[in-house]
Homo-oligomer: A and B are copies of this chain.
Amino acid sequence: MTSFLDRLRIELPIFQAPMAGVSTPALAAAVSDAGALGGIAVGAVDAADARTMIAEVRATTARPFNVNVFVHGPPRADPGREAAWLAGLAPAFRVYGAEPPTALRAIYRSFAEDDAMLGALVEAAPAVVSFHFGIPEPRRVSALRATGAVLVSSATSLAEGRAAEAAGVDAVVAQGYEAGGHRGVFDPTAPDERLGTLALTRLLVQRLGVPVIAAGGIMDGAEIAAVLRLGAVAAQLGTAFVACPESAASPAYRAALLGDDVHTVMTSGISGRPARCLVNRFTTLAEELTNGTPALTPPDYPIAYDAGKALHAAATARGEHGYGAQWAGQGAPLARALPASELVAALTRELRAAEQGSATRTD
C-alpha cells in the first residue's frame, strides 16, 4: 500500500478527481502542494490547451499530478436521432427566446484517436496519466509508459478492471455508482450493474493484482478511512473539491451544490453518456424526454453535449442556471466550501481521527 504512494511520491492517500470543466491547474497545484494528488482533465480541450494547462500546474507546484484523458469509442452520427432530440429540446430553447442548433457535432476528440494529444503528453510527461471511458490501444499505452508515467484507468465492473489490468495499467480507480460526473463505463450501450463504491472496491481489491483507488460518494476523512479498510490504496474525491474557490464551478453550480435539499440523478440526457448531476431543470427535462411517448434516446456522446451546452448557454443568457451540467456525486449533501489546501488538511485530520476510532468531521 505504502509503496504505491511512495512510487507516486505523494504523502496522503487522496486523489483529487480530474474533473473536465471543473478542475483547474490552480486546483490541481493546490491539492498536490498539500500532499495529495491533484489532477486536471484534458478531455474537453485540444493538445495546445493541454500543454498550457500542464505548464500552469508546473508553474505553481513541483509535485506530481495527474492528467486525465477521455478514451471513448467514436460517436456514431445519427441525423434522425439527433433531429428528434433537438425537437424535444426545442420548447426549452424557446422559453429563453432561442432556437436549438440545426445540426450537432462531436465537440470533443477521443484520446483513442488524438495523436496530437498523445504527443503533448509524451512531451510533458506528467507523473500520472489516467484513462476514462476505456483503455487506449497498446502503442499509445506503451508511448505513455515510456515517459515513466504511472498509468491509471477507471473501472466500474470486474470485467473493466480485468481489461485495464490486462492492458498494463499500474492502478485502477474503482468508480462506484455513487460517483458524480461521467460514469466511466467502457460501453454505454451494455447493461450496467451499477455497482456501489463499497461492493466494487472490495471486489476489485480481492480479484485484481494492481492497486485500487476507491471513488464515488467520498466526502470526508472518515470515508477515506473506510475505503482504506477495504484494501484501497487511496480514495479519489471529486465533488468534495467542486466548491473550492480554485475550481471552475460557476456561482450557480456552487450555490446548487451547497443548497439545503440536494439530490443527484444519473442521466444520459446532458452529454449522451451516463453522468451523475444535481437534480435540476435539465435532468428533469431529460427524464421527461427519455421516458416520454415516444421515448427519445439522446445522441451519442459527445454529440448530445453540443445540444446541452447550447441549451445551457441560451438559458443562462436569460438568467436561468438550471440547465448547467452540475455534476455531483451522492455525497453532495456533505459538500463544503473550503480552499483546497484547507480541505486537504481537514480530510487528513478526519482520516487520522477515524483511524483512531472517531468518525467526526471537523467542519
User: Which of A's residues lie within 8 Å of B, judged by CB?
Assistant: 158, 176-178, 193-200, 202-203, 205-207, 216-220, 222-223, 225-227, 229-231, 263-266, 329-331, 333-334, 354, 359, 361
Contacts and interface: CB of A to CB of B under 8 A. Distances in A.
Contacts of A193: 263-265, 330
Contacts of A331: 199, 202-203
Contacts of A178: 195-196, 198-199
Nearest to A219: B202
A216 B195 CA distance: 11
Contact of A198 (B194, B198, B205): B198
Nearest to A230: B226
7 contacts: A196-B198, A196-B330, A198-B216, A198-B227, A223-B230, A226-B226, A231-B359
A111 to B, nearest CB: 29
A229 B231 contact: no
A259 B177 CA distance: 24
Given A202-B222, A361-B206, A195 B330 contact: yes
A198 B177 contact: no
Contacts of A207: 333
A220 B199 CA distance: 11
A216 B197 CA distance: 11
A198 B222 contact: no
A152 to B, nearest CB: 20
Nearest to A287: B191
A105 B329 CA distance: 41
Contacts of A227: 198, 226
Contacts of A217: 196, 198-199, 202
Contacts of A226: 198, 226-227, 229-230
A65 to B, nearest CB: 26
A158 B205 CA distance: 30
B359 A230 contact: yes
Nearest to A216: B196
Nearest to A200: B330
A330 B222 contact: no
Contacts of A359: 205, 229-231
A202 B231 contact: no
Contacts of A264: 193
Contacts of A205: 359
A194 B200 CA distance: 16
A348 to B, nearest CB: 15
A261 B220 CA distance: 34
A196 B196 CA distance: 6
A225 B202 CA distance: 12
A203 B226 CA distance: 14
Task: List the 8 closest A-B pairs by CB distance, nearest first.
Answer: A231-B359, A199-B217, A196-B196, A199-B330, A226-B229, A178-B196, A226-B226, A225-B229
